[in-house]
Structure formats: C-alpha cells, structure tokens
C-alpha cells in the first residue's frame, strides 16, 4: 500500500535531510517533487496544491533556510501536514446512551460494505464488548443476504434477515425492533449499493435513515478506485451526508490518493481501515501512524499493539526468566516462533518497524519457508531432545532429518545455531555484552 508514494517522498526527504543547509531553491525543488509524487499517487489536485503551499509556507516561515541541519524540520513539517490532511486525530463511533446504537452502512456495490459490516461487528464486540446485531437490507445484489448471514455468523453477530422479497426499509425497521428486543448494544444496517450513485439509491438510503434514525452513517469507500472513490464520497455527502469513512482494500496496491484526499474533499474523517479479506483485517484508522508509515518512519504503535495481542505479560516475564537463567529450550523457541507467526507475515510486521520500512525492506526477503523448515525440524524432535539439544547426535539426527524432510546438515545447522544463541543469551543474562566479533567468525 502506498509503496510508490512512500518511496518517492522518502527519496525527496532523504535528499533534503542529507544537506547541511537549505536554500529557498532547495525547498522549492523538494516541494515540486512532493507535488509530483502526490499527483502520481492520485491525490486530488486541489488537495495537492493546498498541501504543498502549506508545507512550503511553513518551511519558509520556520526560518530553516540557511540553518544547519534544517532537513529534519522539513521532514517534521511534511509529517505533520500529512497527518492533518488525513484528519489529525483518529475518530470513533458515536454511541447512543440508549442502545442499540444504530450504524448505517452506505457505499457503492463492490466497495466492501457487506464485508465491512461483519468486520465492524467483530471490532465492536472485541474493543467495546458490545453485543451486535446486523441487518441484511441489501436485497438487490445477488447473494448479499446470504453473504451477510455467513460472515455475520462467523463473527458471532446476530443476523436479522428476511430474504430478498421484502422492502429494505421494512426490513430495517423490523431489524431495529428485533435488536431492541434482544437487548443489542449495536445494530449495523447493511444497505444496498449500486454501480453508480443514482436517485433510487439515495432515495432508499434516506428512507432507511428516516426509519431507523442512525447515530452513525458510515460510507465504505474502495481505496483501489482512487479519485473515483473521492467523487463518490462527495456525491454521497451531498445527498445523505455521512459521519465517517471506512476505507476498504487498503491492502491492495492502492496508490494512496483516496485515503489522502477524502477528508479534505468531504470534510469527513476516515474512521476505519479494512486491509484484507479476512474478517479480523480491520483496524481503527490513525492519521499520525499512517503519515509515519508513508514517510517510512515505521508504525511502531501498531506493531506494539499487534504484539501485545499475542504476548501477555506473564508469558513475556516467564520467557525473560528462562533466558536469564539459561533455561531456554528448543521447545520455548518453537513456542516463540509460533507466536511471532501468529502476528502475520513477517514482512508486513517488519514494515511497521522504523528503519525497516521502504527501501530496506525491498532488498530483504524474510524466508517464510526457512521458518517452516525450522518448525518442522523441532516438531520432529522428542520432548527430551527439545529440552537437551546436546543429545541430538548420530541416529537421532538422522531420524529427525527424515521426519522433517530435511538433510542431516540442516538439522546440524539448527542445533548449532541454537547452541550459539544460548551462549549469547547466557552472556547477556550475566550482564556482559556478547562478543559479536567472535560470534561472526563462527
């Protein structure tokens, strides 16, 4: 996501950062490059113009011309303005003091509305502990009702549906009654989309809005469609108004234009980002983190949040104790490996760490197959062998190699590497810095 834009902005800023002093011409040149990068990323041209004007003025006003090391300040200004462009702060759903809180989902057909309905249900259950019902009011798209029954069921939401023969406005009204009776905290209403914004679609949305009086109207916008998405959002805004955007398909090769323009053009913030077809690939949208990611400063907070979901404090403390006391076995190693892998593909995780983003990541391939192999080897060992890898010799080595489909050398290598790792840990545990040079020679 945003790869090309990230790369160009990072290159421009690296150039600026690399200079001792900056002249007015340097800043002008940098702004020209930033302008081009944003236009190529399909950001609305008015937005680009305003953005570069603001950044240029701030750079000039900040009196950085002629100063020593001014590049850092330019980066800071670009970062702050990118963040502001996407809305500054992250927003949230408005909860009604009298449940159920009603959320109306709007958007074009194919934008990812039905998927987002289930994802949002899952998110609210998890983040707010809400009990959630979803209403199937998209009666026009073939199979939309069945799809919602399926994905809604998968996330554990109650699906209110009445097939496709009833009027969607009636279904919405009925679903709200049901949700009240069932004591739901939240009702999310999936509505139908069309291929284009048209009178009928808007009319129906307005009627549903009157029927259920939503506390939030969320527009689902497909990030892959760039400026078209922003135009659609503008049209929706003019007709029914909405409170916030769910930007879908941010995992694809979206150039970034929609995400960067939609707030400036419609005045409505992006509240959530949908980043894949799986139902947990959905997160709150944080403009600051997104700006950092675009500028290759990494997304440490998202990384920590993700890590926090997998490692609990007790586990972490136990691991640390083991490391210090040199009790760490291949069994623990396997457990750690599994936890790390649960967090998602390694390359996407590394992309969130500053220093790994952008260029560096390109040249660096994390070989997931290598990890598969390591896992297979450890799984072929007995418990005793995992605890005391020094036992692994001769026939044991052969058995493990056969069991995991690797060569004896590969088993050897793993055992040797693990022994090295233990040695380092032992030194660190004793408070000594490991002798890296010696380790490299081995």
What Rg value do the Cα atoms of the chain yield, rounded? Answer: 27
Residue closer to ligand GDP (CB basis): 219 or 401: 219
**Minimum separation from the CB atom of position 196 to ligand GDP (A):** 13
Instruction: Decide: is 277 part of the binding site for ligand GDP (CB under 6 A).
Output: yes
Residue 266 engages ligand GDP in binding (rule: CB under 6 A): no
109 binds ligand GDP per the rule CB under 6 A: yes
Please give the structure tokens belonging to residue 60: 């000039």
Residue numbers 114-153 binding ligand GDP by CB under 6 A: 114-115, 141, 144, 147
Q: Please, are residues 147 and 119 in contact by the beta-carbon 8 Å criterion?
A: no
Phi then psi dihedrals of residue 439, to 5 deg: -65, -35
Q: Which secondary-structure segment (H or E) carries 152? A: helix 144-154
Q: Which is nearer to ligand GDP, 172 or 323 (CB)?
A: 172
Q: Judge whether 329 is annotated as a binding position.
A: no
107 binds ligand GDP (CB under 6 A): yes
Which one of 193, 256, 257, 298 is in contact with ligand GDP (CB under 6 A)?
193
Nearer to ligand GDP, 115 or 216 (CB): 115
Indicate the residue among 126 and 278 with the shorter CB distance to ligand GDP: 278
Which of residues 10, 275, 329, 410 is near ligand GDP by CB under 6 A?
A: 275
Buried b or exposed e, range 379-397, using 16+ CB within 10 angstroms: ebbeeebbeebeebeeeeb
Give min distance, CB of 325 to ligand GDP, in A. 45
113 marked ligand binding residue: yes
Angle at 195 between CA 189 and CA 198, to 5 degrees: 80
Of 288, 296, 301, 299, nearest to 88 by C-alpha is 288
**194 annotated binding-site participant:** yes
Query: To which residue do tokens 């545990």 refer?
Result: 429
* Residues 336, 381 contacting (CB under 8 angstroms): no
Angle subtended at Cα 157 by Cα 154 and Cα 163, rounded to the nearest 5 degrees: 90
Q: Enumerate residues 324-383 that contact ligand GDP by CB under 6 A.
A: none
Does 91 carry a binding-site annotation?
Answer: no
Q: Which of 52, 111, 216, 261 binds ligand GDP (CB under 6 A)?
A: 111
CA distance 155 to 186: 14
Among the listed ranges 53-61, 249-257, 260-268, 375-383, the one in contact with ligand GDP (CB under 6 A) is: 249-257
Nearest in space to 1 (alpha carbons), one of 289, 266, 199: 289
C-alpha separations of 392 from 114, 372, 386, 388 in Å: 53, 20, 9, 8
The stretch among 28-36, 103-111, 348-356, 361-369 that binds ligand GDP (CB under 6 A) is: 103-111
Residue among 277, 269, 228 nearest 247 (CA)? 269
Q: From the CB of 315, what's the least distance to ligand GDP, in Å?
A: 31
Give the angle subtended at the CA of 85 by the CAs of 80 and 86, to the nearest 5°. 105
Whichever of 275 and 410 has its CB closer to ligand GDP, that residue is 275
Q: Does 113 bind ligand GDP (CB under 6 A)?
A: yes
CA distance 6 to 12: 10
Tell whether residue 110 is a contact of ligand GDP (CB under 6 A). Answer: yes
Q: Given candidates 153, 252, 345, 354, which one binds ligand GDP under the rule CB under 6 A?
A: 252
Q: What is the binding site for ligand GDP (CB under 6 A)?
A: 107, 109-115, 141, 144, 147, 193, 248-249, 251-252, 274-277
Numbered residues of the known binding site for GTP: 107-114, 190-194, 248-251
């Amino acid at each position: 996501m945003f790869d090309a834009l990230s790369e160009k902005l990072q290159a421009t800023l690296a150039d600026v950062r690399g200079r001792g002093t900056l002249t007015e011409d340097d800043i002008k040149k940098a702004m020209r490059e930033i302008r081009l990068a944003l236009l190529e990323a399909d950001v609305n041209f008015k937005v680009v113009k305003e953005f570069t004007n603001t950044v240029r003025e701030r750079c000039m006003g900040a009196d950085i011309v002629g100063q020593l090391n001014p590049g850092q300040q330019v980066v800071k200004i670009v970062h702050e303005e990118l963040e502001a462009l996407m809305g500054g702060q992250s927003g949230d759903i408005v909860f009604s003091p009298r449940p159920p809180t009603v959320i109306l989902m709007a958007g074009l057909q194919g934008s990812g509305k039905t998927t987002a309905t289930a994802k949002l249900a899952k998110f609210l259950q998890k983040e707010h502990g809400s009990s959630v019902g979803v209403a199937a009011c998209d009666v026009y798209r073939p199979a939309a009702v069945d799809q919602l029954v399926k994905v809604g069921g998968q996330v554990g939401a109650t699906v209110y549906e009445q097939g496709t023969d009833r009027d969607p406005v009636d279904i919405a009204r009925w679903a709200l009654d049901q949700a009240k009776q069932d004591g739901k905290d939240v009702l999310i209403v999936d509505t139908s989309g069309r291929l284009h914004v048209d009178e009928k679609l808007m009319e129906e949305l307005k009627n549903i809005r009157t029927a259920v009086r939503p506390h939030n109207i969320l527009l689902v916008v497909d990030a892959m469609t760039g400026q078209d998405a922003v135009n659609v959002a503008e049209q929706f805004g003019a007709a029914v108004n909405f409170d916030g955007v769910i930007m879908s398909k941010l995992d694809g090769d979206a150039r970034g234009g929609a995400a960067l323009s939609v707030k400036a053009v419609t005045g409505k913030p992006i509240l959530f980002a949908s980043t894949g077809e799986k139902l947990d690939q959905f997160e709150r949208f944080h403009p600051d983190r997104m700006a950092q990611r675009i500028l290759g400063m990494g997304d440490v907070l998202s990384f920590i949040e993700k890590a926090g979901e997998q490692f609990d404090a007790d586990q972490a403390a136990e691991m640390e104790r083991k490391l210090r006391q040199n009790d760490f076995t291949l069994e623990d190693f396997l457990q750690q490996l599994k936890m790390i892998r649960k967090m998602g593909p390694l390359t996407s995780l590394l992309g969130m760490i500053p220093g790994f983003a952008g260029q560096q990541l390109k040249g660096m391939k994390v070989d997931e197959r290598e990890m598969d192999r390591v896992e297979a080897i450890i799984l072929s060992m007995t418990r005793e062998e995992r605890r005391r890898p020094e036992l692994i010799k001769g026939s044991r080595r052969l058995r493990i190699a056969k069991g995991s489909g690797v060569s004896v050398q590969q088993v050897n290598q793993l055992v040797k590497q693990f022994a090295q790792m233990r040695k380092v840990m032992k030194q660190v545990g004793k408070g000594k810095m490991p002798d890296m040079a010696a380790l490299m020679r081995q």
